Amino acid sequence: MNRQELVNTIREKKSYLCVGLDTDISKIPKHLLSHADPVFAFNKAIIDATKDLCVAYKINTAFYESLGIRGWETLQRTVEYIPKGIFTIADAKRGDIGNTATQYAKTFYETYAFDSVTVAPYMGKDSVTPFLEFNQKWAIVLGLTSNEGSKDFQLQKVGNTYLYEKVMKTCASWGTVENMMFVVGATQADSIGHIRSFLPDHFFLVPGVGAQGGSLKDISEKGLNKDGGLLVNASRAVIYAGNDENFAEDARNSAMKYQAEMGMYLGNAI
Amino acid sequence: MNRQELVNTIREKKSYLCVGLDTDISKIPKHLLSHADPVFAFNKAIIDATKDLCVAYKINTAFYESLGIRGWETLQRTVEYIPKGIFTIADAKRGDIGNTATQYAKTFYETYAFDSVTVAPYMGKDSVTPFLEFNQKWAIVLGLTSNEGSKDFQLQKVGNTYLYEKVMKTCASWGTVENMMFVVGATQADSIGHIRSFLPDHFFLVPGVGAQGGSLKDISEKGLNKDGGLLVNASRAVIYAGNDENFAEDARNSAMKYQAEMGMYLGNAI
């Protein structure tokens, strides 16, 4: 999916909601466990219930990888089930060099046909640029993450600036606003305005609202740009909103609240 | 595998060679392509030809992941074929937080039963410590890598020190020499003596000899400690030493040269 298509979708749906399919087989409603593929049965119901409210789905690959080969089968079924026109994110945080990075890019862009993959920047240019060489595919580079551990390295000073700022500015110089986004945690609302000042046009993938406590209002006020420019992810707060036979309806109600709030903020911005 | 078992194996085999199974289906001898699982057929022959000469095998997961589900089947077959007593490394460079990191740890330590997995440190403490909570399993954290891009961030100054040094010292404080190793690229021989000065007891996984040009002599003189303390990886220089029906014998001959040289350096050190 290209940038203009994504922007159009955000305008049409009045939403920049990304639903995170971090589906943990130990947390899904018990009545699904009799299905041949319980995680897919869950994902299918969540997608059916939220596809008109969100503009993206993010699949946290760890939850699928840990199930072994059948987990990858579930992942493949899930990606294939996501309707065309919704942006797909492999939240896989890959990062390696040269030909190995190309293999990872092919894995997610071609083998599983995602629109994008999250990328870890620690190894530098030759670990990031191989993800930029595919038409209408996106590298989403870790910038400033939502977790406590972001203080350990990302918030260390490199010269006069924080490491995350150095990383984001440097990586941005290797790509364009058409093939690169950044991860910026929702719990970092104080920083998001600052980041927007030096990256006015990039999309940011923002995890951490809901269960992790980030404020949608703060993020939106500081992070929205004229194209939207945000994909705000909610995982647990949507997919585990309920835990019985009405789980899909509960997920829909949760997604509707996010979408309604987003529609309000978008009305002021784009 | 625990540390003492690894040290004993290094002493017995007079080797600290790790063979990297970065097996690219487009580079293996053509006569193998008629096998039901050509990559496994190749890996099996390489393992048979080198298992008495090396102490570890490193599987670069990207080459398997890019083949989709059948790639994971090949990976599983390969890990299961590696003889007991040889240290296994999933070179997967995973890095995510909390429960997601735990899912990755379970993927490689339990689902596929590797001894260790490579871990990217950018997200900080809560992305690294979940990999340390499994008995006799190892996180191998990226320290200073062998690629050109290591200059972009790892070799930036944080206060009076390089970022890689800050990362390695900080990560080392979260684990022990029994559950953590570091990746130090062979092309960074000038730095390996310095790194050894502040991490005297940790094992280092050293990729980059052979095709990437690192010197085994330099690395060994500067990096060996009383327990060996190095796993030096050769991938292409061993597995693609030949490319016809004698490829396994050619791989063995290449591994023998490394082992013979290592035996000489080890004789002086441990």
Question: What are the tens digits of pLDDT across the range B130-155?
Answer: 999 999 999 999 999 989 999 999 99
Mark which residues 73-102 of A lie under 8 Å from B by CB. Answer: 73, 76, 91, 93-101
The rounded distance, in Å, linking the Cα atoms of A264 and A107 is 38
Tokens of B249: 């014998």
**pLDDT-derived band of residue B188, with 50, 70 and 90 as boundaries?**
confident
What are the tens digits of pLDDT across the range B104-116? Answer: 999 999 999 999 9
pLDDT at B270: 73
pLDDT at A189: 79
pLDDT score of B2 more than 80:
yes
pLDDT score of B268 more than 90:
no
User: How close, in Å, is residue A65 to chain B by CA atoms?
Assistant: 6
pLDDT score of B269 more than 80:
no
pLDDT at B73: 97
The rounded distance, in Å, linking the Cα atoms of B69 and A79 is 14
pLDDT score of A233 more than 90:
yes
- Quick check: B104 and A22 CB within 8 A? no
User: What's A155's DSSP letter?
Assistant: T
Q: Which domain holds residue A9?
A: 3-269
The rounded distance, in Å, linking the Cα atoms of B31 and B33 is 6
Q: What's the rounded mean pLDDT across residues A16-28?
A: 97
The rounded distance, in Å, linking the Cα atoms of A259 and A19 is 11
B216 and B255 in contact (C-beta within 8 Å)?
Answer: no
Per-residue 3-state assignment (H helix, E strand, C coil) for chain B: CCHHHHHHHHHHHCCCEEEECCCCCCCCCHHHHHCCCHHHHHHHHHHHHHCCCCCEEEEEHHHHHCCCHHHHHHHHHHHHHCCCCCEEEEEEEECCCHHHHHHHHHHHHHHCCCCEEEECCCCCHHHHHHHHCCCCCEEEEEEECCCHHHHCCCCCEECCEEHHHHHHHHHHCCCCCCCEEEEECHHHHHHHHHHHHHCCCCCEEECCEHHHCECHHHHHHHHCECCECEEEEECHHHHCCCCCCCHHHHHHHHHHHHHHHHHHHHHHHC
**pLDDT-derived band of residue B28, with 50, 70 and 90 as boundaries?**
very high
A136 and B116 in contact (C-beta within 8 Å)?
Answer: no
For A200-221, give one letter per residue: b (16+ CB within 10 A) or e.
eebbbbbbbbbebebebebbbe
pLDDT at B190: 83
Q: Which residues of B touch A21 (CB under 8 A)?
A: none
pLDDT at A267: 87
Q: Which residues of A touch B67 (CB under 8 A)?
A: 111
Find the CATH number of the domain harbouring B158.
Answer: 3.20.20.70
* Residue B113: closest CA among B81, B142, B140: B81
pLDDT at A208: 84
Residue in the block written with tokens 């038409």: A135
* Of B17-26, B69-78, B104-113, B180-189, the least confident: B180-189
Query: What ipTM goes with this model?
Result: 0.95
B137 and B112 in contact (C-beta within 8 Å)?
Answer: no
Catalytic residue of the set B44, B93, B166, B169: B93
Tokens of A70: 């059948």
**A253 Cβ under 8 Å from any chain B Cβ:** no
First CA to last CA across chain A, in angstroms? 20
Task: Give, in degrees to the nearest 5, the angle at Cα A263 between A262 and A265.
Answer: 65
**pLDDT-derived band of residue B267, with 50, 70 and 90 as boundaries?**
confident
Give CA B139 to chain center in angstroms: 11
The rounded distance, in Å, linking the Cα atoms of B29 and B46 is 12
Q: What's the rounded mean pLDDT across residues B115-126?
A: 98
pLDDT score of B210 more than 80:
no
Q: Which residues of A touch B147 (CB under 8 A)?
A: 97-98, 123-124, 126-127
Give every CB contact of residue B233 below 8 A, 6+ residues apart in sequence: B18, B19, B20, B56, B58, B205, B206, B207, B208, B209
Residues facing residue A144 across a β-bridge: A184
The rounded distance, in Å, linking the Cα atoms of A6 and A85 is 8
- Quick check: B122 and A121 CB within 8 A? yes
Query: Strand B157-158 relative to strand B161-162: parallel, antiparallel, unpaired?
Result: antiparallel
The rounded distance, in Å, linking the Cα atoms of B172 and B8 is 23
B204 and B227 in contact (C-beta within 8 Å)?
Answer: no
**A106 Cβ under 8 Å from any chain B Cβ:** yes
**B161 Cβ under 8 Å from any chain A Cβ:** no
Give the mean pLDDT of chain A: 96
Give the mean pLDDT of chain B: 96
Give every CB contact of residue B120 below 8 A, 6+ residues apart in sequence: A93, A95, A120, A122, A123, B93, B94, B95, B127, B142
pLDDT score of B209 more than 90:
no
Q: How many residues does chain A have?
A: 270
Q: How many domains does chain B have?
A: 1
Q: Which residues of A touch B124 (CB under 8 A)?
A: 145, 147-154
Q: φ and ψ at B182, to 5 degrees? A: -130, 150
Nearest to B127 among A126, A149, A158 (CB): A149
Give every CB contact of residue B90 below 8 A, 6+ residues apart in sequence: B59, B61, B108, B112, B114, B116, B117, B118
**pLDDT-derived band of residue A212, with 50, 70 and 90 as boundaries?**
confident
User: How close, in Å, is residue A154 to chain B by CA atoms?
Assistant: 7
Element (H, E) at A168: helix A163-172
pLDDT at B55: 98
Instruction: Note if A93 is an active site residue.
Output: yes
User: How close, in Å, is residue A26 to chain B by CA atoms?
Assistant: 12
Q: Which residues of B touch A173 (CB under 8 A)?
A: none
